[in-house]
Amino acid sequence: MPSRPSTFAMLCGLASCLALGAANGPLGGDPVSFELKSSDFTTGSTIPQQFTCVGADISPALKWNDAPANTQSFALITDDPDAPVGNWVHWVLYNLPASVHSLPQNFPKSEKAPDGTLQGRNDFGKIGYGGPCPPPGKPHRYFFKLYALDTQLALKPGAAKKDLERAMQSHILAQAETMARFSR
């Protein structure tokens, strides 16, 4: 599988993507239509400053639809493949109930939400969302990847992206993503 951006992501460049098939995706899943978007930015656009380290550093609103009917939970990973040190993780969130189809702006930066949603540790060493904060220069790409899963994951709060990816293996029903850019 090529590194980000994959051929799939480049072809997808609109507000939603088709799920990656088990033979095509790094973590597997059946090909299913699945849409993820934000009311705070459009795919490929610039992320507004309020969602970055130069602003309030709050998470943008996200919403999704058309998840598979047998979805048991959702997981979200937001990362920057253009970071100088390699892929930089900005948000790890998992065990979102299947009944949830959106995240509000400024999602609380706590390990556990009242509905059971858990958050992991980002590469800033903190729980919850950490907004774009690239060094001065060309724009970086920020991928928001949402996974529909066939189970609740047996992970404790504070898990790292690698732990989440390992736990999701063979449980991904569908994946959707959106991407936006930011530079300083």
Please write the tens of the pLDDT for every residue from 122-148: 999 999 999 999 999 999 999 999 999
Cis (ω within 30 of 0) for the bond into 97? Answer: no
At 46, give phi and psi (nearest 5°).
Answer: -85, 135
Establish if 89 belongs to a structural domain.
yes
Is 106 part of any domain? no
Q: Let me know if residue 2 belongs to a domain.
A: no
pLDDT > 70 fraction of the chain, expressed in percent and rounded: 82
Q: Answer whether residue 21 shows pLDDT above 50.
A: no
Residue 18 lies in a domain: yes
Mean pLDDT, residues 164-172 taken together:
97
pTM (2 d.p.): 0.83
In a domain, 141, yes or no: yes
Decide if 126 is inside a domain.
yes
Q: 55 lies in which domain range?
A: 7-100+111-182
Look-up of token digits 């540790």: 121
Look at the alpha carbons of 28, 69, 75, 118 in this order and tell me if their dihedral is positive or negative: negative
CATH code, domain with 135: 3.90.280.10
Q: Could you give the maximum distance between any two Cα atoms of the chain, in Å?
A: 44
Instruction: Tell me if 83 is assigned to some domain.
Output: yes
pLDDT attached to residue 7: 32
Question: pLDDT value at position 99?
Answer: 96
Average pLDDT of every residue of the chain: 86
Q: Is the pLDDT of residue 78 over 80?
A: yes
Q: Is residue 1 part of a domain?
A: no
Domain count, the chain: 1
Q: Show the tokens assigned to 148.
A: 């529909």
pLDDT at residue 74, as a whole number: 98
